[in-house]
Amino acid sequence: MRSFFDCIPCFIRQALDSARFATPDEAVQERVLREALWAGARMDLRQTPPAMAQGIHRAIRLFTSQDDPYREAKDWSNRIALAWYPTLRTWVEDSAKPLETAVRLAIAGNVIDFGVNSRLSEADVHQSITHALSEPLEGDLEEFTAACSEVDQVLYLADNAGEIVFDRLLIEQLPAGKVTVGVRGSPVINDATLADARAAGLHEVAQIIENGSDAPGTLLDDCSEPFRDRFERADLVIAKGQGNYETLSEVDREVYFLLKAKCSVIARHIGCEQGAMVLERSHKLAAKGD
Amino acid sequence: MRSFFDCIPCFIRQALDSARFATPDEAVQERVLREALWAGARMDLRQTPPAMAQGIHRAIRLFTSQDDPYREAKDWSNRIALAWYPTLRTWVEDSAKPLETAVRLAIAGNVIDFGVNSRLSEADVHQSITHALSEPLEGDLEEFTAACSEVDQVLYLADNAGEIVFDRLLIEQLPAGKVTVGVRGSPVINDATLADARAAGLHEVAQIIENGSDAPGTLLDDCSEPFRDRFERADLVIAKGQGNYETLSEVDREVYFLLKAKCSVIARHIGCEQGAMVLERSHKLAAKGD
């Protein structure tokens, strides 16, 4: 998905929010803000939004001399999600439709996104969980169920720390021993890295692969050769969250996207209401989107 | 008031909204957006927000080849306000406290601000009017009442078209023949110009003076010599709206500001809730603000 005009003011607001999140030093915050404005003024709008965000968050890490400004937030998210995990697992196991329940809870976890909401609270997570089972789910669950049952190699592209614990619920419903989880190659915002996959215990139920990139999405050209190879060979790719949608919505293979459509631009691109829980295939989306 | 970091993403969003308001041509919208980003990146934050907005709206008029892109919106606002005027005048005349009622209605009219809300509807105006008499009014009305009774020369700085009809209700409560209304020197956003003052019939109840500037506020250095002279000599200055507040809050004379604190930065600067109706003196504000 290309960047739209409405993405630009949002980039600038996100840059300021993230700079404030990373440092109380107003001189550094101002430097980040001006860097984002320069980058926005020069930006090629054919780029995906995560390509722009990658540059902004590199600048934040450089100017604050912090490799991972969201480390504490990620640990906090993992702790909250792990505290919920036993309860949620019971919900899935006791459900008449365990795969659907796991899909819904995995999407509920997508609320843990400090790029969109730097003031995320435990109450937000709680609310997302409690709404997840009753809200409408956009997309074809039957098709997804069929796709999951016939696979040999699943690549599950994770999105954020904390959220990755919710992903575990769904991964446990997929054919055992067939799943590889893709995580970011290095820290960006609160996106899940290898450390978060381990914190979620995913190494116990799946292989884990780093994608070699620090973009908050999956910019294939920026990913490592082994990751790209895994992406091409997988017979089922499941991609979580807005960043993965923005970077893979036009890719030349089938991908199942699972996300909350938190921003109006993405909701319009998908053709759903803002805030909707979405499960859909890439080739359908390419036909529907603008 | 200087510009704060939070003003910057808002400038960019406003530039995009205004460009879309002025033209359906996406190439021009993009040019405006990039110009705003360049300007933001270079901006001196000691400048007031209207100084930045002045540059953005000059660019919009230049790139769209339109001297007055909000002319239709201003005519619409004047029509709506004039349709309300006889009713509102009855409310003032029948009120036990006509000056207070007029102050409240003048502030209610400050909702007509296409810079803050380019999708303003008749329902928004209606709602602002119906809430105006019951909402709390921040500030010292008694002090203002006393100040109004002893004056020889009042300078009333108008803000927006349409709103200027609401201002008429208050001007009619001030000593007859003592009031001069200041309007912008040329069009910017939906700010009131000489044409709007005449549409509101203000020439029947007051003198009108143009300030010589196209800033959406009162940048004294950018105003004409006759206007500045009038500003200095007036023994009471009443300034309507956020733009006049932003440009005059630290000026070295007493000014009464009447506004709705529509933005969070201004609310914080004044020390009130966002959305509050405010009537306060400049020297008090200088002591309270951050």
- Structure-block tokens of residue A210: 């780093």
Spatial separation of the C-alpha atoms in residues B29 and B21, rounded to whole Å: 9
User: Residue B13's closest chain A neighbor by CA?
Assistant: A9
Å between B118 CA and nearest CA of chain A: 15
Which residues in B lie closer than 8 A to residue A24 (C-beta atoms)? none
Candidates B5, B30, B38; nearest CB to A16: B5
Quote the pLDDT of residue B35: 95
| Strands laid side by side in the A207-210 sheet | A137-138, A277-281, A256-260, A236-240, A154-157, A179-183, A207-210
Candidates B6, B30, B41; nearest CB to A34: B41
B112 burial type by CB count under 10 A (0-12 exposed, 13-18 middle, 19+ buried): buried
Cβ separation B9–A5 shorter than 8 A:
no
Residue A262 per-residue DSSP state: -
Candidates A8, A10, A30; nearest CB to B33: A8
Cβ separation A37–B34 shorter than 8 A:
no
Which residues in B lie closer than 8 A to residue A6 (C-beta atoms)? 16
End-to-end CA distance of chain B: 10
Quote the pLDDT of residue B69: 93
User: Residue B42's closest chain A neighbor by CA?
Assistant: A34
User: Between B281 and B173, whose confidence is greater?
Assistant: B173
- Structure-block tokens of residue A71: 């480390």
Candidates B10, B12, B26; nearest CB to A8: B12
Task: Find the chain A residues whose C-beta atoms sit closer than 8 A to any C-beta of B.
Answer: 5-6, 8-10, 12-13, 16, 26, 29-30, 33-34, 37-38, 40-41, 45
Residue B156 per-residue DSSP state: E
Which residues in A lie closer than 8 A to residue B6 (C-beta atoms)? 16
Candidates B6, B13, B37; nearest CB to A37: B37
| Strands laid side by side in the B277-281 sheet | B137-138, B277-281, B256-260, B236-240, B154-157, B179-183, B207-210
pLDDT tens per residue across all 290 residues of chain A: 999 999 999 999 999 999 999 999 999 999 999 999 999 999 999 999 999 999 999 999 999 999 999 999 999 999 999 999 999 999 999 999 999 999 999 999 999 888 888 888 999 999 999 999 999 999 999 999 999 998 999 999 999 999 999 999 999 999 999 999 999 999 999 999 999 999 999 999 999 999 999 999 999 999 999 999 999 999 999 999 999 999 999 999 999 999 999 999 999 999 999 999 999 888 754 554 44
ipTM value > 0.90: no
Quote the pLDDT of residue B114: 86
Spatial separation of the C-alpha atoms in residues B126 and B111, rounded to whole Å: 10
Spatial separation of the C-alpha atoms in residues B245 and A275, rounded to whole Å: 37
* Residue A214 C-alpha from the chain's centroid: 13
Name the nearest CA neighbour of B213 among B185, B172, B249, B178. Answer: B185
Spatial separation of the C-alpha atoms in residues B110 and B238, rounded to whole Å: 14
Å between B236 CA and nearest CA of chain A: 38
Convert the pLDDT of each residue in A105-142 to its tens digit.
999 999 988 888 888 899 999 999 999 999 999 999 99
Convert the pLDDT of each residue in B71-109 to its tens digit.
999 999 999 999 999 999 999 999 999 999 999 999 999
- Residue A286 near residue A268 (C-beta atoms within 8 A): no
Query: Can you give the pTM of this predicted structure?
Result: 0.90
